[in-house]
Amino acid sequence: MASQLPGTGYLPMFLPATDSAAIRAAASEIEHRLERVDVLVDSAGMTRAVPHGDLEGMDDETFDRILITNVRDPFAVIRAFLPLLRLSGDAVVVNISSFAALKGEGSSVPYAGSKAALDTMGKSLALVLAPQIRIMGIAPAGVDTDFIPGAYPGRLSAAHRTEPVEGNLPTG
């Protein structure tokens, strides 16, 4: 995907988000190559499809991995890149959330809860980092992709595909 992006002045990276040292090293590399960060897109996400009513079907280890990946890791990335975002003077962080956070549905209860936590964390960060750094949340609706294969067989109705999301962004 990165090879298909037009233009220059950006550096797409895959960060092992659970490795704080690697995140800091990436921030240092970007500082040397680009000097500042104007846009940080945080698209970390993981889940495991477990029906919402099947609480016994979600083990603690998977629950913890979902929360760490979807909440703590975005925080760690923002924290590591904060000095470079401040150098921009007009930076924006884009957190990729999910419509599951707004509807309480989706692949699993922990996933919906973790994306709601990401949204609330985004609101808190927006309050403390404004006006130099804007925090945005994008909450896509259900999409039939390989992220959770077979999670939506026949469930993506016309309403799911066309339901307006205006006014449903995490920061208002």
Kindly list the catalytic residues: 111
**Which tokens belong to 40?**
């940080």
Q: Who's near 52: CB < 8 A, 6+ residues apart?
A: 105, 108, 109
